[in-house]
Amino acid sequence: MRHGVRLAVDPGDARIGVAASDPSGMLASPVETIPRGKGDTQRIALLVVEREAREVIVGYPASLSGKEGPAARSARGFANSLVRLLDPVPVRLVDERLTTVTAQGQLLAGASFGKKGAKGGRARRSVIDQAAATVLLQSALDQERSTGHPPGEIVRASQGDS
C-alpha cells in the first residue's frame, strides 16, 4: 500500500463531494461539498495543497454496457481539467457506480438528517455528496490494499483535450 493522503471527488451537476484519506491510506473521511461552477477546480487544488495529497481520485460513472455515456464524458472532462491544474499530482478515474446509492443507504441506516424543508434538503444533499465521495475513496483504498495496485485509470492531459 502506498503511503500518502488521497483526495476523492465525486463531481455532480450541481455539487462536488470531497473526501480524503488519512496519510496511511487506510481510512476515508468526508471533507466538504463544493458548489459546481466557477472556482470549483481551484478549491480542489487548494485542498490538494492543504492536505498534501499524493493523488486525486475522480468518480467515473461507468455504464453497465461499457460505453461512455454523458455522465462519464463529463467526469472525464472534469478529470482532464484537474490534470492540467494539479500537475504533477496524478489524477485517476475510478468506477463509482452505485456510490451515491450506497452512501444514501448508509446515511439513512445510521443518521438523521435533521429538520425537513428546503434547508434540510440542501444540507441532506450536501452530506450525501460527501458520503458518496467517502464511499468512492474507501472502495479505491480497499481495492489497492487487496490487489497491490492503484485503482482505476490514470488520466493524462492529452485524453479528451481538443
User: pLDDT tens digits, residue range 40-53?
Assistant: 999 999 999 999 99
CA 159 from centroid of its chain's CA atoms: 19
Is there a domain that residue 74 lies in? Answer: yes
Is there a domain that residue 57 lies in? Answer: yes
What is the extent of the structural domain holding 121? 6-148
CATH number for the domain harbouring residue 14:
3.30.420.140
Question: How far is the first Cα of the chain from the last one, in angstroms, to the nearest whole number?
Answer: 35
Contact 19, 31 (CB under 8 A): yes
What's the predicted TM-score (pTM) here?
A: 0.84
- CA 34 vs CA 2, 13, 25, 47, 70: distances in Å: 27, 11, 23, 11, 21
Query: Which of 106, 103, 98 has the alpha carbon at shortest distance from 129?
Result: 103
Q: Which residue type occupies 59?
A: G
Low-confidence ranges of the chain (pLDDT < 70): 98-124, 158-162
| Angle at which helices 70-86 and 40-51 cross, to 10° | 50
The single-letter DSSP state of residue 113 is -
Contact 133, 8 (CB under 8 A): yes
| Number of compact structural domains in the chain | 1
Contact 65, 158 (CB under 8 A): no
What is the reported pLDDT for 118? 42
Label residue 24 left, alpha or beta by phi (over 0 means left) and psi (-120 to 50 means alpha): alpha
Query: Which of 106, 108, 134, 107 has the alpha carbon at shortest distance from 10?
Result: 134
Is there a domain that residue 14 lies in? Answer: yes
Is there a domain that residue 104 lies in? Answer: yes
User: pLDDT tens digits, residue range 105-128?
Assistant: 665 566 544 444 445 566 667 788
Q: Where are the alpha helices (DSSP H) in the chain?
A: 40-51, 70-86, 99-110, 118-147
Is there a domain that residue 19 lies in? Answer: yes
What is the reported pLDDT for 67? 81
